[in-house]
Structure formats: C-alpha cells, structure tokens
Structure 1
Amino acid sequence: MTDTNDTTTVAQPDDATLSDRVEAALRAVRDPAAGLSVFEAGFVEDVTVTEGEVRIEADLHALDADTGQGVVDAMLRAVDDVDGVEGVHVERASPSAEGRASVGAFDHVVAVASAKGGVGKSTVATHLACALAADNDVALFDADIHGPNVPSLVEASGPIHATDDGDPMPVRRRGMDVMSVGLMEDGAPLAWRGAMAHDALSDLFENTAWENDDVLVVDLPPGTGDVVLTTLQDVPVDGVVVVTTPFHSAISDTGRTVELFRDNDVPVLGAVVNMAEYVCDCCGEPNDLFEASTDALDAPVLAELPFTKELQGTPEPGDVPESVATLGDRVRTALDEAWTVGAPDDAVDIRDCPPEERKQRVRERFESLDGGGAFTLVSDRDPTPVGDFLSRLAETPRAAFDIEVRRATPDDWVLETTKP
C-alpha cells in the first residue's frame, strides 16, 4: 500500500509506486462478456515492474482469439498511459491441464443427428447447447468433420491452444466450450477418407481438454456413416436427438436412423421437426412448408420449430428463443427418463424370466382379466409375436386386438392391448 506521507513516498523505490498505478490502470480494463475487471475475471496471472518496464502475464485461453486480442490491446493502452511507464509487454501464460476433463467425465452426452443434410441439424445442435447452458456447464463438439459449421454458427474462432501436455483446448464462447476441426483447418475443403476421418475424430474425442463437464452436445454428420459409428464406439452417448423436416422422404429416412441408434443401444430422446411452418411477414398467418405425418418417426416429437429469422441468428449461451428454451427443458427431462420403461405397476415383466416361464406368466395375467381389461407386457425383445398367442388364448381373431408395441429403451419393449 502506498504511504500518503510525502517524505516516505519520495524515499520509496519508483517501481513500488509505479506498480500501484499500473494495477489501478489494469483494474479499469473489463472483460467485455462478463463485465468484470481483468483481475476479477482471472486473466492477469502476474504483473512485474522493473525500472519502468512492465511485464503482464495473462491467461486468456478462456476467450476466443478476437476477444482475447481485444483484451490484450486494452491492457496495453491502459498501462502505456500511466506516468513513468517506459514500456509494456503482455505475455500469454501457458494453459494448464489441471482441472480439465476428458470426454468420459461429462455427466451427460447428447448427440444431435439427422438422416439427411440440409434439415438444420447443426442449427438445432448449436441452439440446443446454448439452451442447456442456461443451467449447466456445457461443451459443444462438432463431429461433422466434412462440413464443420459449428464455429461459424456460434461465432467461435481459433487458434486452438494446447495444454502443457499438448492436448488441444476448446475455444471458450461466453462460458461454453466449443471444439471443432473447423477451428484448426484453414478453410480448405476437408476430403478425408474413412480411416483418416476415424483417426482424427477419435484423437479429438480422446484428447480434448474440456473445462466444462456437465453436458456435452455432439453435432454428428448427417447419415449413418463411419463418423457416426465411430462416435457411438468412442463416446458414452446418453441419448440422441434426431432432426428432420416434415417432408415425407426425410421422415421415412429418419425413422430408419432412429432404429440404427436403438440397435446400437443409444436411447432416442426424441425428434425435432425443423421448418415445420412459416409465418407470413405480411399477414401473420402460419403456413405449412411440407405436408407429411410424423408417425413414421417412432419417437416422441420434442419440438416443432418454425422457419424464422429468429432461429437463423447467432445463439448465445443461456439466451435463446422461447421455442428452443422449451426444447432444452424437454431434452433434460428425456435424459432423466431415457432408461425408464414407463409401464404400469401391474404390467407383466418377462425380462428376467427363463424362456420356459415367459408364456406361463403371460397366460396367467391375461386369463385373470375381465373383458375390456388393460394388458401390458414388458419384454427384452420385440413382443409383437405375443399378439398371436393372446389371440389363441382369447379364442378370438388376431384382428380383434388393438395392439401397440413400442421400444421404450434400447433394451426394453412394451406391448399394450385390451382383452376383448
């Protein structure tokens, strides 16, 4: 602390009082996103003053390249204006791997997929990540290595820095981690063959040093190729959100994609129907862009998003359109219920039964019901053939039964019907 006594002040070394003035100047420099001083934001690691020369050690890895350079420029200007400063230099501190997580450390991993390109999958993925960031520490991984659009959609830019151990670090976007091969390439087309794509993606999945570790949102490439299968092998995906438009071929293809994920033991959290309608700017009337039923999806519809300029803008972590905020809430709920079967207490559960006991359990429960009674069966395999067995038990044609079979989780099926 500087002594206010004039005699004492004159006797102190010049560097001591100059250090106080330099620090005061730096405290006036703010983090543009958080509104904190560079000290409060943790950007300044150390300040040394020697014979009028000021050296500032700054850790700016949490900022994207443009914002970080802006903070550096602001610190240089602030300190250069201090009387007695002969020169000033900002040295960026080497980032540390301490406290950083691998992909396996996330509480939840949500993949966003589509059967076709051009349905708005990356737009949904980036908006969903920003919606989840309202209540969670979120990371966004762009696994679409042939068309990495995430950086431009969230306005994130490189360069990618590395930890002391050489692991790539994600770019920070207002508290959200973002990683994409698009942050490391020079804008040239990426024409990688299968093995190269597999190795590049596996390396990023394994070695990226994440700062956040609550929820990881993975933007998959369209279709069901090598990159999608690599992701399912390398990453513990807790659930997938499929994106489609309400166009008949897109709906049909998406239904097959749903089955692919379930066959790979990945819960399908639900579907997002994008570009569901367009609201006329002139009259305000909504208009359907396509005419198709979503019944073939075999998945709950989490959201029907309109074709609107609002969803074409840049999403901000924690600040998204209302329709996307609702989608985020439904995805959180779906994650909590992803492995829940949702059958009534009196359902017949044959998942752990020996084969010879399964029919007996079904028979006992079905024959105990009065006509019009509800019958529910939970099985670890597709129970559709049970309909024929029930028909024989009731001595009633199979067509008399209204039977619904649904795959509740990747491992569980539910059959529901009513005894004639």
Structure 2
Amino acid sequence: MSAVTRQAVEACLRQFTDPHLNQDPVSAGCLREVDIQGERLSVRLELGYAAGLFKSGWAQMLQMALENLPGVSAAQVQVDVQIAAHAGAGQVPALAGVKNIIAVASGKGGVGKSTTAANLALALAREGARVGMLDADIYGPSQGLMFGIAEGTRPQVREQKYFVPLQAHGVQVMSMAFLADDNTPMVWRGPMVSGALIQLITQTAWDELDYLVVDMPPGTGDIQLTLAQKVPVSGSVIVTTPQDIALLDARKGIEMFRKVHIPVLGVVENMAVHICSNCGHAEHLFGEGGGEKLAAQYAVDLLASLPLSMAIRMQCDGGRPTTIADPESQIAMLYQQMARTVGARLSQLSQAGVPSISVSDD
C-alpha cells in the first residue's frame, strides 16, 4: 500500500466546495495543517467567518473523503474559526474593538430591512460570533421592539460619557429608542440627525465585537453619507422586494455605496412569494425574480429570497425574531445561510484588501 502524501490530501480537499466561499478549502486558503503519521492523517482548516452551525458537518464530510484515500486508515479533520478585522478597523477609537461593520440598507421603506437586520445579527450570534446591533434609524427606531427590550429601558452610563449597550438574545443592542420616549417623534433636521448618529456610534462602549450590524434608515440621505464618511464600514447588504418600484430604489442604494467605496456584499429579497395557509397556493404578489436580476446586474450574491410570511411579522413584533423563535424552521435556515455568506464575503474582502473610503460632493 502506497504512503499518503500531502499532494494527495490537497487533491482530495480540492474536490469539495465550501458553499459560502464558493471555493475549495485549499484554493480559499483555509488549509492550515496537514500531519501524516503513517496511515493516520490529521488536517486542520481555519474559516474566516462565523460558522458554528456549519463547521462540524463540513469537517465530517471532509473526514469521510480523506479516509477513502489509499494508504489512510484513519483521518481527523478539525475546523476552526478565526474572524479577521476589516482593513479600516481601528480608525475610530470608539470602535477599536469592532472587527467588522455591516450596514443593512434599503432604497425605500417597508421592504423588511429592519427585520432582515435583526435576523442577520441573531443568526451571526447563533454561529458563535460576538455581535452588536446599532439602530441607526433615528426617525423610526424599531430594534428595541424586535429584540424584546421593554419600553422605557435605559442604558447604563460608564465614566459619564459612554452608553453601555443593552443585552438581548446574546446580542449587544443600542438604539435611539433607548434615549427617548417611544411616542415622541424626532422632529430634527439633517445635521441634528447626523450628530445623533455619530454620538450613538462614538459613545457606545461596544465590547469586543466580531460584527456590528447597523440598521440604516431607508433612502440615500444624510445618515448614509455620515456613516460612510465617519465610520469604517466593512460592507453593505441591500434589502428589497421583487416589486419594480422597490428594485428601482434598491439600485440607487447600491450605486450610493459604490460611490463611497463600500462593498455591497449582496441582496436580500423579501416578500418573494406568498403561500396560502389554507390551500398552499403560491402567489408572487410583488413580482417574481426581481432580487435575482438585481444581484446579477451588479454581480453580487442573492443572499436570500424570503417569503411573505405572517410568522416572520408576528415573531419580530413579539420581540423574538424567527432565527431564535423557530430556529429549526426553513426560514431560519435561510437566515443562517445568509449570515454565513455575509461573513464569508467579508473574510474574502479582508484577504484581498479594500480601498479607503472617500466621499466627493459631485
């Protein structure tokens, strides 16, 4: 029986594609160690994205393949996770402990952006990451409700200048809703809103985060530009529905992020299909295939295509979004897949490097 070689091990691993990186583990640079002791083989991989619910199954699949190699009697595959910091991390002292900032945005309201942001944050936390949620929608903050934080709850203050984010479902949460009455509208002009956002960002004591998810207000106005100028955003996620009007505004959102050199990690399509709870009939109430076409047009991922579901709405309104309210459901699995893919795209950007952020007035 011929002795196994590292070349044979790598050739075996190259036959398998990581579904989140769209590469085999060798080409993706995940292979860290290969230890061959006679007929016994030990391999260690390292993923650059949160993958707590994926890595054991991935390790088992690769182990079975390696044990079928000639000359191998037993194989052990270890998959570790090491999330790297974005190239711009540390530029803002208050965010020194935040590795990656993900902006979740939409061109218009009513497309499920905040619901997507909440489930993205919770899904990343379920994958084992340290996650924060910043509700940057100053005019209409909703993350306090979605995370089940009681009305009137206020954050503690540290050293008389830092807000301590509230904890909910394993996520650090900060919102303007925690600093004002829920029934009081923010009747502010643009500069005041931008100033409030900067205060929230720079005066929140985030505790060593792998990912900070930022729920942006809809549109392409002051807050979006302020965030791009003042915060080292790692990447953005665009949320839309299949409706033509929503897609038109989503394109504007993508173009805005491109203009300020923030990578678009992908598109999330909400309300893609409605399935009747009585008869099971499926209808595309807002059109069909719009998110897929938008993603293809800009050469980005369609991160998820989610149904128009009463359960999603009820669970978010009840303070327990789908990802934790029904973690084994098909919809929750779509959110988990979305979260891993977002993390994977960020890991690829951190390896390739990204350009510095600049904003022009034209």
Output the TM-score relative to the length of structure 2. Answer: 0.64
- CA RMSD across the alignment: 2.2
One-letter amino acid matched to 1:256: K
- Identity between Structure 1 and Structure 2 (%): 37
Gaps of 5+ in 2: 1-92, 357-362
Mapped pair 1:167 → 2:162: yes
User: 2:311 corresponds to which residue?
Assistant: 310
One-letter amino acid matched to 2:266: G
1:175: how far off? 2.4
One-letter amino acid matched to 1:332: G
Which whole-Å deviations, capped at 9, do the CAs of 1:173-212 have from their partners, x for residues lacking one? 1321000001110121111111111111111111101124
User: 1:131 corresponds to which residue?
Assistant: 123
2:280 to 281, 284, 299: 284
Give the Cα–Cα distance (whole angstroms) in 2 for the partners of residues 308 and 340 of structure 1: 37
Give the Cα–Cα distance (whole angstroms) in 1 for the partners of residues 142 and 266 of structure 2: 23
Q: Residue 109 of structure 2 aligns to a residue in which SS? A: coil
User: 1:181 corresponds to which residue?
Assistant: 176
Cα pair 2:312 2:322 within 8 Å, conserved: no
Mapped pair 1:262 → 2:258: yes
One-letter amino acid matched to 2:336: A
1:339: how far off? 6.3
Q: Residue 253 of structure 2 aligns to a residue in which SS? A: helix
1:329 to 340, 347, 358: 340
One-letter amino acid matched to 2:286: F
Give the Cα–Cα distance (whole angstroms) in 1 for the partners of residues 345 and 166 of structure 2: 28
Give the Cα–Cα distance (whole angstroms) in 1 for the partners of residues 131 and 267 of structure 2: 21
1:150 to 143, 159, 165: 143
Alignment of 1:17-416 (within 5 A): 102-134=94-126, 135-157=128-150, 158-187=153-182, 188-292=184-288, 293-294=290-291, 295-297=293-295, 298=298, 299-312=300-313, 313=315, 314-315=320-321, 320=327, 321-338=332-349
Gaps of 5+ in 1: 1-100, 342-408, 412-420
Give the Cα–Cα distance (whole angstroms) in 2 for the partners of residues 199 and 239 of structure 1: 22
1:130: how far off? 0.4
User: 1:72 corresponds to which residue?
Assistant: none
Give the Cα–Cα distance (whole angstroms) in 2 for the partners of residues 291 and 215 of structure 1: 33
Give the Cα–Cα distance (whole angstroms) in 2 for the partners of residues 180 and 140 of structure 1: 8
Give the Cα–Cα distance (whole angstroms) in 2 for the partners of residues 317 and 184 of structure 1: 27
Give the Cα–Cα distance (whole angstroms) in 2 for the partners of residues 167 and 340 of structure 1: 33
Give the Cα–Cα distance (whole angstroms) in 2 for the partners of residues 265 and 283 of structure 1: 47
Output the TM-score relative to the length of structure 1. Answer: 0.55
1:340: how far off? 7.1
1:300: how far off? 2.1
Q: 1:340 to 1:261 in 2, by over 3 A?
A: farther
Query: Which of 1 and 2 has greater Rg?
Result: 1
Cα pair 1:132 1:318 within 8 Å, conserved: no
1:285: how far off? 2.9
Structure of higher RCO (CA pairs closer than 8 Å, 6+ residues apart): 2
